[in-house]
Each structure stands twice: as structure tokens, then as C-alpha cells.
Structure 1
Amino acid sequence: MARDASGNSWKVLMLEDNEDDALLIVNHLETQGCEISWDRVETEKDLRQRIADGGWDVVLSDHTMPLFDGASALRVVRELDPDIPFVFVSGTLGEKAAVAAIKGGAQDFIVKHDLSRLTPAVERAIADQALQKRHRLAQEVLRKLSQAVEQAADSIFITNREGEFEYVNPAFEQLTGYGPASTHGQTPALLKSQDQDPSTYAELWQTVLSKQVYRGTLINRKQSGETFFEEKVITPLVNQDGQITHFVSTGRDITDRVQADEDRTRLNAILEATTDVVAIADAKGKVIYLNKAGHTLLATALNLTDDEPGKARAENALNAAQQLIQGALAQAEKHGVWERESMLENASGQHIYLHQVVMAHRDQSGRIAYYSTIARNISERKQFEAQLQHQATHDLLTGLANRVLLAEQLQTEMNRARQLKHLTAVIFLDMDNFKRVNDGLGHSIGDQLLQQISVRLGRHIRPNDILARYGGDEFVIVASDLTDADTIPGILDKVKRAFEQPVRIAGQDIFVSFSAGVAVYPDDGDSVETLLRNADSAMYQSKAIGGRSFRFYAPAMNERQHRLLALESELHRALERKEFVLHYQPQASLRSGKVCGVEALLRWNHSERGLVAPNDFIPLLEETGLIDDVGLWVLRQACQDMRILAAEHGHAPRVAVNLSARQFSSQRLAEQVAGVLRDTGLPAEQLELEITEQMLISDLESSRATLESLRELGVTVAIDDFGTGYCSLAYLKRLPLHVLKVDRTFVSGLPDDGNDLAIVEAITLLAHKLDLQVVAEGVETAAQLETLRALGCDMVQGYYLSKPVPLSTLAGAATLTV
């Protein structure tokens, strides 16, 4: 008996390669009373497209087709829409394939030669799939709800009627520290804090047991013991019988909000206590709040008296605050924050400086909600900044302009001179022999001298000229508005005459003179750096010829500087290239008339320049630090040369080697000397080390220790250029010395200069009293030699006896007699 399926209206998608089979299936369904709307596809592409169109009630698919197979079709359908019923209608579907189809998600399978089960199978598939879809959707909703609870930012827990925990979400655990394991069998009482009023709990239970929702704020305690504020909503769950079965609690940590409220209260107290002015204005710029400090400061600025009524004082202060903020509103609205310095002037003319920040605050729509300003009284800071600015641009000792201000002022004068087509002169002054004053009388006297010099210079320059202290004992005068360079000597003459009289300090007269160098803009340079450098170069030229004079800059001076720079570069390679050589100048005994010693003098035999003058490279050795290595080389080479001389001629004189200040101050000096003597085999008594007075007095205690170490080695020590230093003679009796070398400046005037004669005689008598030998340097005439012999000098050295000679000719010079 045919089944009545009337009332079924289905939209059927058939995957069938045989149209006749498809028509047969449709015809069968329609004969069963079904209303069918259908379409047929036979490729994966068409299947995907028609499934995407949607609205299908069922998919009927053949299992085996030439262009596509049913198993693949099932996978595509399930991929695109898992809720569409899928039924196989095939003539070739075996049992194994049918089982695989069901496992793959097909609802049923029908054989084509028996369609009697087709209609009920489709009905059942559609009904089952609808039920499955509802179940899946319900599961999805449940999953989402569960996920929402699990991922909720608020803490959630569920208890049974007795209050025992049944569920806690991760947010609860993160907030409190209690997880599912630690809450099992527990009640929310474990969250109780002693800070919570007990009456709150009574109110809570009364509310929820009456089947009402509780809303409130609790102070709870975490597992760590830390307390927190929680905004709570507790809902009782009631079953169909009206009985409470569970409680659901939702909580939110509002500790930050509570603390923010507390902070707001504290902030208000701070605003009233702060010494800064704080004001708030509405969107139109009208001041609606002014703190206590604002009232006080603005009342002071307005000279408001305490006798004035309080309301009037407040209104006047608000009006002043209105003016303070009004001028910055436009900029604050434009930039969000506007920072500036303001000045208030009271009726007495006193200025109050304020550092002010004005901020525009906007609402969520971006419109101005209100303005605020914070202003600090910076009057003291402004005064301090002015002092700092003065200190940054002025010399602390003399109060004169320093290098920074000098550069700015000189640039200004150069710009003006360029516009007016005038000349500007830079005069670089350096005190002659200031080091003697500092070393001999002390730095305090030296500082006082510099202060008095700056005052005198300031009085003897033209009113519009600039005077600066460049550093140390160097001063710079900038003479502007010059139409002719011939006026510069007149300016220098005024400076010279200013110091014709000595400067008296601490009861002592100090005579002052300068070496001066002059560079003129624009002829000698078109930049500040160039002018100062060229004036400095000219000053050194003046100092090189004895000081107490001035020199104008000449380009040749710079040529010499460039040459020295080139020498410095080549000097670094001179030692490794073995370009250094030693020459020896004999020293003769005035008693025996024979050569008894030699002084080793360093020479640089440059591969291209030939012999370089010592004055051109020895200072460079000091500046670059190469003197350490070169000095040790000189010491070793001199000792080796004397051993060679002794081996060839059976005897070698005592050799004197000059030490640099760096060598003498080295703690390894005695160790190095001992090593050289050991390596070369030269007897210690044949080595003499020459040092200057200045090396000794820079650190007497250290000098004593070094000299004691040298004496223990058996080495003699000579004081070179004796008499030229500005120091006490007391060190002569306190230090283990052996020889005094009288400087050539005292020998050159003999025998005619009475002062030189007296000085040499005094040095000789003093040395002999202290059991020291005396060597006179720079002896160039027979008259000088005989005078020195008469004065009791022990030895002489100079061109009269012999110029410095290389080792190869020293043996001949050593046979000379006097």
C-alpha cells in the first residue's frame, strides 16, 4: 500500500550524473504526495555553488559518478553546511561503503531499484537533522555561556543552598587566589575580612534568603591575606517549586576605584595645602576654583590687605586668576597643554615670576569640558638663573667675560665691523713669569694678583673695548671701531703704562709685564676661532723673543704651527725608524784641566729634514707622552755608548743624562735605571742624572724618596739650570744631591756684569758649603772660563771647550784641556 506523504514540501538538491535517474527519484517522491522543488548537479564546483545559495532541505546523492564521487560530495556538504540532511540514493552502494557513508555523516542510504524507503528516509533525515541542529545550537549556546563565564573579567562563583562552593571561574581564582581545589567543601566565609562590618553579612543573607538580589560592596580578603574592595551581585536561583537551589555571585574588583576616590579626597587636601597656584576654569574660561595658595599669592601680588573683606579679597584673587589663565586659553585649546612663564607686577613695582602650565580638558565628544592651570612662583629661580648665566659667561675669579662670552661678543663686533667697514683687533695678553709668582708665593697670592691685574686693565682700556680672561694668566682685549691699525700700538702702550708701577699684595711689590699678540679682523681671519688662534700664535712669538713686547700676527707663524704638527706626526715613528741620535758635550775640570764628563744631548736626524732643532721636537715629546719611551732610550743608549768608548779607548768619562718631569715623577725610575745599568754593565758612579728645580719642588716628599733610591744605586744627581727657579733653597740641604749646574744666563754676562758675578760667586760658595760640585754651562770665552776658575767653580761646559759631538768624534774631544 502506497504511503501518504502529502503535506511535505521539500527543496531537494540532487547529485546525479543520470538525468533519467533524477527524474525517476522526483517522480517517486511526488507520487508519495510530496511537493518537490529540485535541482541537479554532477560536479564539485556546481555543488559548492548551489550549497552556497542555501535553502536546501535535503541532498540526495548518487555514490558513484564519472565526474565526482558521493564520499567526496558528503565531505563538501558537511564542510559547507553541517545541518543539511544527506541521503545516498545509489544502485552500486555495497554494505561496506554504506557503513562508511553513515560514519561520514550521511543520514541514510537507498538503493535505486527499490525506492519504497525513500520518502520515510527523507522525512526521518530531515527530522533528525533538525533535532540535531537544535541540539547543536543549544550546545553552542551552552558552550558560549560557559566560555563567557570562564573568560569573564568579573569573578563568578556558584554555591549550593547551604553556601558551599560548587564552581569558581578563573577570574575568581585570579582575584582571590582560591581555585577549585582550595574552595572544595568551603563557603565564601573564607573571604571574610576583619575590616568588614559584620552587620553587612547579616543584611546580605536576609536579602538573598528572601529570594531577592543583593547588591553591595564588600571588603574581602585574598588567599595572600591582602584585602580588596569588591562590588557584589548575589542572585538566588529558585526552582519550579519556589525553593532556592543555588546562589550565583558576580563580583568586580573596585579597589582601584575606591582608592581613586580616596586619592581624590587626598588630592583635594593636597591642592589646598600646596604652595603652587591651582585654578580651574569652565569651558568658557571663567575661573570656578582657586586653591588657598592661589588666593594668598594673588592677594599678595595685588597688595590686598587683611583689612579688606574676605569676599572682596576672594573676588579680586579670582579676577587675577582669570587674567592669569585668559591669555593662554587659545593656545591650550589648540595644543592641549600650553606652558609659559608669566609675570605679575604689584603696585610697588615688584615682579613675581610664575611658571605656568595651562591644560585643556575635553569630554568624550572632543569638546572642551574645562581648563586647569598650575602656576609656581619661580622668582627665586629666576634670580638664581640670572646668577648662573652670569657665572656661565664670566670668570669666577675676576668677574671678567670668559671664553664663552668673549666668543659671542667678538662675533658681534666682527659683524658690526663688517657692516661699518671698520677694523677689530684681538689683543692676546700673557703674563711674563706668572708661574714664578704662583710657585714661589702661592696660589692665593697668584689669584689676588690676577684680580688686581683685571681691575687695572679695565681702567686702562677704552670704554667700548671688551676685556676677557681667557684662562690662567691669559687675557684678551677686543678693540673695535678702529679705522686704522696704527692706533693699536697706542692701546698696547696704555696697557704697558698701566703696569709701570708694581702691584702690591700682602706687603710685597710684584712687577707685572706681558707678552702680547695682535690679530686684526678682517685681514688676519674671518672667524672667531681663527682670530683668537692667530693672536695666540703672535703672542707666543713675542714670548719666544723674551717677552715684555708685542707682535702682530704674520702668516709665517701659522706655517710654523703646521710644520710642528707635521713633525708631531713623524715623531711617533722616529724611534722605530732609529732616527734619534745622541751627541755629547764635554765637561772639563778646572783643577786638572781635563775632560771628566760629558752631557748626552738628544738629536733627531730626520730622514728628509736632516737634524731637527731640539726646541722643535723635545716639547712635542713632552706633550705627546713619547718622552717616556724616548727618555728611556736616551738613558740606555748613553750607557751603551760609554761602554763602547771604554772598550775602544780603555776609559770613558762620566755621562750626564737629562730626565724629563714625567720620568722623574715615575715610581719606576730607580727600577728602570738599575735595569739599564745591569743590562749595559756601566758602573753606577759613571752615570749622572740631571733634573730641574721645578721637578724637585713639585712634590718634595716624593722627590726625596726617588733621590734616596738613586743614591742607593750609586748614581749622582745634578740640578740643571740652577738659579732660574723661583723657590726656596732649603731643599738643597734636605735632599741627597751632588752637583749644581749654573744656568748659562748667569754665565753669559761674565766677567763684566757685576750682578751675574755676584750670583755665580754666591752659588759656588753655597754649593761648596753643602759639599756639592758646581758646573757652569754656556762657557763661550776664555774670559768667562778664567773668571769661573777664579770664583772656585769645579767644572765648565760650553762651546769654548767643544760643541756637542757624535760618539764617533767624542774620543778626540775628550782629550781637550782647559
Structure 2
Amino acid sequence: MASPLSLLIIESDSSEVFRLIREVKANGFSPLYQVVSKAEEWEEKIEEEDWDVILCGMNWPDEKTIHDFLRFLKDRQIDIPFLLIAEKSKYETALQMMKEGAADIIDHSTLFRLPHVLERERRELVFRREKEITANYLEQSLKEIQVQKFALDQANIVSTTDANGIITYVNDKFIQASGYSKEELIGQSHRILKSQDRTKEEWYDLWETIQNGKVWKGEIRNTKKDGTSFWVETTIVPFSAEDGSIFQYIAIHNEITNRKLAEEQLTHDAFYDSLTELPNRALFLARVEQKISEYNLFQKGFPIVFSINIDNFKRINHSLGNESGDEILVIYAKRLLKLCDPSAIVTRLGADSFAVLVTDCFSIEEGTEIANKLLENLKEIIPFQGYEIFLTASCGIASYGMAGKDGENILKNAEIAMFHSKSSKVGTVSVFNQRMQEKINYQLEIQNDLKKAIEKNEFIVYYQPIFDLAANEICHWEALIRWRHPKKGMVSPTDFIPMAEDSGLIVSLTKFVLEESALFAKKMREESNYKFSVAVNLSPQVFLDQNIFHWVVDIQQRLGVPYECLQVEITESLAMKNLSETIPILSNLKDIGVKIALDDFGTGYSSLAYLEKLPLSTVKIDKSFLNNVIPGSKEAILLVSIIHMAHGLGYKVVAEGVEDISQFHLLREYECDLIQGYLLSKPLSLEDAVSFLENFTGIQE
């Protein structure tokens, strides 16, 4: 059942009113609302209902200003939270309005915080009204204090002092908030909390008020035992004896630290992510440090950090666009926040990376179990603009002590563990250990050596044969780059290709592979009369560079290699990134005779409607489709369907990762055109490839 809420909206633009109400309803509220669109309606409508919250737009055109509304509420002593809906350009004005009584500011562009602030203000309004009633009862009768004390203790931070201000009682919430033990507090004055942001004159006025038997209300910034600050909204009630002398004070505190942090965020605009409204890296690290301090004091709330990165999120931006990608990130952030324990702190570190701080675990094993459940629940389909978006995420875990004793190191090591998960098996959880740090150091060394390797010609090209089942011969090769490091030996492509793409060096590497592949094809044509094509994989950087066409033309003119001897391979996600750019590039290459292959077919998110528009000649089925394939199985039906579908579109089919003779027989039965894999050969150096061709007599059945 939706939560009821009474709203008074000050806004002359009806479309803005509709947008506000839609956001409120979308977050589980059932609003009863009235709209003040003209100044003369204000006084009448403010009296109509016991409003929970007032929402006011900053673009108020009438002669009555927001300042007038706030002054009216203050003069009439009407206690209703007043929220401003403001563009960032008007934050300075809005902050001035907060000094005059506005409760909070909501970003006009996103309204992300609106439901949270509405719930908070409604709770605080209920609290203030209940507290006022409680304070009146306390003033009326000392005899009822024990009953009232019990009620207060359950919901508030409470302390009692004698006439001289010496603490005689504190409840558990006071102890938790301050970080001091009961024994450290009893017998002291409130000066132990080192209250800040108040002058000597203000303290004098406070004491004069309560010593004269009057109730004092205000906000106080206190200091915990560990040196961190916390804000409280305080009511101090004096109690008088029959002779009129004050013998006791009761202070009722409501902690408002989070609200104050939000106000600071509005002032500095530095602690929250602008897209998701989650805390950013700086604020997250501050919270980690705070929890570390609390853990050191109380030995509970063991701090553990999860670093979470969405797997392959670039494909969303490539296929749907960056704007849609941002919308999906907001949905994902809300889901992550909802799935985490309320005590957890969730942050967006940037792009598609998030982090979570949990403090309710007793061991790293328990933290790992929580992380696994979290990743599993995050897999739920996201409906978006007619699509069903399925996202997996990889997670790294680092805990206080084993992975560092400060927030920066703990988060860094959680990220290292997350990258380990991605490189090992996406969608999994890894706990940081020292071996991961050593691997990072190795990768840094590789990154530093990469540019030098190009200059020193340390790269070589290997070739893996592709077998034509119908012709019973080798008809194609795939070119695969290798790095022979002078000290580390052969470096795996999985270690250096991503770094080459990030640094832009992939462009130079691709030109090198194209050149070497053309020379290989030319050599075999001239010396052995072998006629085949060599396939070169293209990264997104190279593919979207219009120079790829000119590279191929230049190679043909210099080396005299026919265009049909060259083939380029692209992935589905790359092809689907931007069809308006993809199709012309592929068409230009195909028009001059270059073959076009679509790699890892079936693992992306493309549709047949798109595929038939692409000027392809070949599709390569990812080796994952061969797993567990036996005649009559669901896997077999899927494999046959893909082959027939590709044939129907006019494409030849290459099955990758063929490793045993049973797969060979099965693929031939299913009318697959070509096969590639260790059944034929592993990737070979140029010399070994030449020898392989000279000695190859077919697949031995």
C-alpha cells in the first residue's frame, strides 16, 4: 500500500507540478496535494490542511517572493518543512533561503533525492511534534518523568544534568553517538563533547535562557571521543522546585549529522556523484576512515570494502548510446542501494564502477558470502525502452587489516581484487591477496615496456590455420600477434592487448599485423602457389579510424597482394556500435575485395535485422557453442540453428575452438563450412606455418 503524504506545491508551471507528483508517486507515496500558482492563494491554502511538506520551485514569477513565504511561516510559527526545487545555477540563492528557514534543496534536473528527503522530513516533522508534546509534559509534571524518559530513550539521545550542568544520566544512544563510555561521561559537563561553531555570547544566552526556567532549542555540533564531529538538534528543558529554583535539566537530542553533510555537499558540490547522487570516492573514503575509527574504539563493525564493476558495460553505450547508458547506470545504482543493508555505504567511483562499505560482518568469509548474493541479485533483468538488459558484475573484496589500515589502501586493493575477477572469470568475487599485488606490478612493468617493444621490433605474428570441410584443405589463416619480451619471454596477448588499446598503441600494432599478414600471403602465393586469405582482428579504435581503408590500399599497391588475400574480423558489439559508421567502412572494404568476418558470433546483442544489413562474408561461432554438444541435445539444436541461420543470410560459417575429432565429425554433419582450433594446429610462427602447409595432408579421421 502506498505511503500517504500531504503536499503543498508552490509552482506556477503546471508541467513542473506534474513532474514532481510523478516522481513522488513513482517512489511509493500516495500524495494528497494542493497547488499555489498565485500569491493570493497562499494564505488560504496553507490553512486548508496539516501539510507534511511544502515544495517550492525557484522560478516563482509572482510579486510575493520565497523570502515572503518563509517569513510568513516563521511569524505564524508554522512548522512545515520547506523544500526548494532548484537548478544548480541557483544554488547560491537557495542556500541563502536555507539560512532563512528552508529545510533542504533538491536538484531540479534529477529529483533523485526528492523521495529520500520527503521521507526524512516527514519523520523529522513527526519527531519535532512529538518532542514538543513531550517537552510540554516534562515542564508540567516532574512526576511523569520516568514514563517519558523510557519513551525518549527509545528514540532519542538523552542526557540529564544537575543545576550546575554536571551530567547525572546518559542513555545508550548518547554513549553510541559520543564514543565515550558511561563512566567517562557521568560527573563531567557537556564541555567533554567540545561543542563547536558557537561563540561565548551564544553560550551565555543559552545558559541565561534555561536558568530563567525557559526551554532552549537549537543545533549543536559536538565532537566524538575519536575526534570526528556529529550534529544534534537539541531541546533543553529546565525543571524547577517549589521555591522556583532550578534543580535539573533534561537535554533531548536528535542526531542530524547526515542532513548537515548534505548541506555541506550543496555548498561545496564535491562529495556526491552528479549522475546517481551516490557519495563519490572522496566522501566514501571519509566514511571508510570513520568506520575504521569506530572499529578501533569498539571492536565491532569490521570494515570490508566491495569494489564492483559492471562487466562489458561499454557494449551498452556502443549499442544504445551514452545517454541511455547513463539512464541504465542510474537504475543500477538504485538497485544496488536497495539490495545493500541500510547500514552499508554505497558509492559510485566513476563510469561503471561502484563500491560498498559493509560493517556488519565478523569475517572475510561472511563478507564474501554477502558479495556473492549481492552479485546474484544484481543480475535481475532491467527492462529499458523495449530491451531486456542483462548485466553481470565482477567484485573484489578487501578488509581492514589484511588489505591495509586506511581507506585509500583498502579501496585500492579491493579494486585490484576486482580486476583479478575480471581477468579470471567475469561475474565472480575475489578476495585481495598479495599475489594480486604482484600481478599488478607485473602489468605495470608490461605497460612501461610496451612502447619500447614497438620501437625495438619485439612483436611477431603467429598464424592459425582454418580448414575448409568441403574442399578438404587449408583455405584461410588467422593472424595473431605475439610479444617476445627480452626478459620475460613470451608475453600473453591478454596481458598487453588491453593496455595497447587503452594507450592507443593498438593502431601501430594493427598496421604491423596487416603488413606481416600480407607478406605471408604473398610469400605462399609466389613460392608455393598457395592461395588463401589471412584474417586480421580489428579493435574499435582501428575500425572506426577511416585510415583502415587507406592502409589496405597502400599495402596492395606496395606489395602487389590481391585484396582477396586479406580478411578483417570484427566483433558483434563493435559492428553494432554505430551502424551508420560501420556499414560504409565495411562496404568500402568489401567493394575492393577484402573479406569481412564477424567474430564471436552469438555472444553479443545484435539482431538478425541488423546482421543482414552488414556486408559480411563469414561469421565465426564462438567456441562456447561447442561445449557439451551431443546429437539431439539443446546445445546441438542451437548450434545447427546458428549455422542454418548464417547460411540463410549468405554467410559462410567458421567454428572456433575445435579440439577433438568428435567435434569435427559433428560439425561436418551439421554442414558447417570451416573449422579452426587445436585439432588442426595451435598458432604457428611464419616458419612453422610454411612447414605445416608443406606437410599437411588433411585431418586424420
Q: Aligned-pair RMSD on alpha carbons?
A: 3.6
Deviation at 1:763, TM superposition (A): 2.2
Match of 1:689 among 557, 560, 568: 568
Pairs within 5 Å for 1:451-600:
451-480=330-359, 482-492=361-371, 494-496=373-375, 498-499=377-378, 502=381, 513-600=392-479
Output the CA distance in 2 between the equivalents of 1:668 and 1:509.
36
Report what 1:754 is aligned to.
633
Report what 1:666 is aligned to.
545
> Is residue 461–residue 491 contact of structure 1 (8 Å, CA) maintained in 2?
no
Indicate how the Cα distance of structure 1 residues 779 and 704 shifts in structure 2: closer, same or farther if over 3 A, else same: same
Output the CA distance in 1 between the equivalents of 2:318 and 2:669.
34
AA at the equivalent of 1:674: V
Deviation at 1:597, TM superposition (A): 1.1
Deviation at 1:515, TM superposition (A): 2.1
Output the CA distance in 1 between the equivalents of 2:649 and 2:70.
81
> Is residue 568–residue 595 contact of structure 2 (8 Å, CA) maintained in 1?
yes
1:711 paired to 2:590? yes
Determine helix, strand or coil for the equivalent of 2:608.
coil
Report what 1:146 is aligned to.
none
Output the CA distance in 2 between the equivalents of 1:442 and 1:679.
39
> Is residue 590–residue 789 contact of structure 1 (8 Å, CA) maintained in 2?
yes
Larger radius of gyration: 1
Determine helix, strand or coil for the equivalent of 2:481.
strand
Render the CA deviation track for 1:78-123: whole Å, top value 9, x for unaligned: xxxxxxxxxxxxxxxxxxxxxxxxxxxxxxxxxxxxxxxxxxxxxx
Report what 1:394 is aligned to.
272
Indicate how the Cα distance of structure 1 residues 471 and 674 shifts in structure 2: closer, same or farther if over 3 A, else same: same
> Is residue 519–residue 532 contact of structure 1 (8 Å, CA) maintained in 2?
yes
Indicate how the Cα distance of structure 1 residues 743 and 424 shifts in structure 2: closer, same or farther if over 3 A, else same: same
Render the CA deviation track for 1:277-297: whole Å, top value 9, x for unaligned: xxxxxxxxxxxxxxxx9xx99
Report what 2:286 is aligned to.
408
Aligned residues: 456
AA at the equivalent of 2:287: Q
AA at the equivalent of 2:513: V
AA at the equivalent of 2:279: A
Deviation at 1:537, TM superposition (A): 1.4
Q: Which stretch of the first structure deviates more once superposed, 490-499 or 661-670? A: 490-499
Report what 1:77 is aligned to.
none
Output the CA distance in 2 between the equivalents of 1:561 and 1:770.
45
1:615 paired to 2:494? yes
Match of 2:296 among 391, 395, 418: 418
Render the CA deviation track for 1:191-214: whole Å, top value 9, x for unaligned: xxxxxxxxxxxxxxxxxxxxxxxx
**Normalized against structure 2, the TM-score is what?**
0.59
Output the CA distance in 2 between the equivalents of 1:662 and 1:714.
23
Deviation at 1:519, TM superposition (A): 0.3
Deviation at 1:492, TM superposition (A): 2.6
Indicate how the Cα distance of structure 1 residues 707 and 440 shifts in structure 2: closer, same or farther if over 3 A, else same: closer
1:787 paired to 2:666? yes
> Is residue 432–residue 512 contact of structure 1 (8 Å, CA) maintained in 2?
yes
> Is residue 319–residue 576 contact of structure 2 (8 Å, CA) maintained in 1?
no
Deviation at 1:704, TM superposition (A): 1.6
AA at the equivalent of 2:664: L
Report what 2:24 is aligned to.
none
Output the CA distance in 2 between the equivalents of 1:447 and 1:707.
29
Deviation at 1:665, TM superposition (A): 0.7
Render the CA deviation track for 1:729-753: whole Å, top value 9, x for unaligned: 2232222211111111112332368
Output the CA distance in 1 between the equivalents of 2:520 and 2:564.
15
Output the CA distance in 2 between the equivalents of 1:656 and 1:593.
19
> Is residue 394–residue 401 contact of structure 1 (8 Å, CA) maintained in 2?
yes
Deviation at 1:469, TM superposition (A): 2.2
Determine helix, strand or coil for the equivalent of 2:455.
coil
Pairs within 5 Å for 1:349-360:
none
Report what 1:337 is aligned to.
none
Indicate how the Cα distance of structure 1 residues 496 and 731 shifts in structure 2: closer, same or farther if over 3 A, else same: closer
AA at the equivalent of 1:817: G
Render the CA deviation track for 1:560-617: whole Å, top value 9, x for unaligned: 1111111111111112222111111111111021111111110111112111111011
Deviation at 1:626, TM superposition (A): 0.8
Indicate how the Cα distance of structure 1 residues 471 and 635 shifts in structure 2: closer, same or farther if over 3 A, else same: same
AA at the equivalent of 1:688: Q
AA at the equivalent of 1:418: N
Determine helix, strand or coil for the equivalent of 1:522.
coil
Output the CA distance in 1 between the equivalents of 2:71 and 2:467.
93
Pairs within 5 Å for 1:625-774:
625-751=504-630, 754-774=633-653
AA at the equivalent of 1:402: N
AA at the equivalent of 1:555: Q
Indicate how the Cα distance of structure 1 residues 489 and 654 shifts in structure 2: closer, same or farther if over 3 A, else same: closer
> Is residue 397–residue 432 contact of structure 2 (8 Å, CA) maintained in 1?
yes
Report what 1:801 is aligned to.
680
Render the CA deviation track for 1:641-663: whole Å, top value 9, x for unaligned: 22222333232422111122111
Output the CA distance in 1 between the equivalents of 2:577 and 2:387.
23
AA at the equivalent of 1:588: F
Output the CA distance in 2 between the equivalents of 1:753 and 1:470.
48
Indicate how the Cα distance of structure 1 residues 748 and 444 shifts in structure 2: closer, same or farther if over 3 A, else same: same
**Normalized against structure 1, the TM-score is what?**
0.51
AA at the equivalent of 1:485: I
1:817 paired to 2:695? no
Deviation at 1:464, TM superposition (A): 2.5
Indicate how the Cα distance of structure 1 residues 773 and 415 shifts in structure 2: closer, same or farther if over 3 A, else same: same
> Is residue 585–residue 598 contact of structure 1 (8 Å, CA) maintained in 2?
yes
In structure 1, stretches of 5+ residues that fail to align are: 1-292, 305-339, 344-348, 352-381
Output the CA distance in 2 between the equivalents of 1:610 and 1:583.
15
Indicate how the Cα distance of structure 1 residues 498 and 700 shifts in structure 2: closer, same or farther if over 3 A, else same: closer
AA at the equivalent of 1:764: I
Indicate how the Cα distance of structure 1 residues 679 and 384 shifts in structure 2: closer, same or farther if over 3 A, else same: same
Pairs within 5 Å for 1:329-340:
none
Deviation at 1:542, TM superposition (A): 2.1
Output the CA distance in 1 between the equivalents of 2:396 and 2:442.
20
Render the CA deviation track for 1:249-291: whole Å, top value 9, x for unaligned: xxxxxxxxxxxxxxxxxxxxxxxxxxxxxxxxxxxxxxxxxxx
Deviation at 1:507, TM superposition (A): 7.5
Indicate how the Cα distance of structure 1 residues 735 and 810 shifts in structure 2: closer, same or farther if over 3 A, else same: same
Output the CA distance in 1 between the equivalents of 2:579 and 2:379.
36
Indicate how the Cα distance of structure 1 residues 444 and 581 shifts in structure 2: closer, same or farther if over 3 A, else same: closer
Render the CA deviation track for 1:763-794: whole Å, top value 9, x for unaligned: 22122222211111111111111111111111
Output the CA distance in 1 between the equivalents of 2:400 and 2:262.
37
Determine helix, strand or coil for the equivalent of 1:734.
coil
Determine helix, strand or coil for the equivalent of 1:792.
coil
> Is residue 481–residue 513 contact of structure 2 (8 Å, CA) maintained in 1?
yes
Output the CA distance in 1 between the equivalents of 2:496 and 2:70.
70
> Is residue 372–residue 428 contact of structure 2 (8 Å, CA) maintained in 1?
no
Output the CA distance in 2 between the equivalents of 1:769 and 1:752.
22
Output the CA distance in 1 between the equivalents of 2:671 and 2:282.
57
Deviation at 1:391, TM superposition (A): 5.6
Pairs within 5 Å for 1:264-275:
none
Output the CA distance in 1 between the equivalents of 2:652 and 2:363.
58
Quick one: higher RCO (CA 8 Å, sep 6+), 1 or 2? 2
Determine helix, strand or coil for the equivalent of 1:600.
strand
Indicate how the Cα distance of structure 1 residues 493 and 608 shifts in structure 2: closer, same or farther if over 3 A, else same: closer
> Is residue 569–residue 596 contact of structure 2 (8 Å, CA) maintained in 1?
yes
Output the CA distance in 2 between the equivalents of 1:596 and 1:708.
23
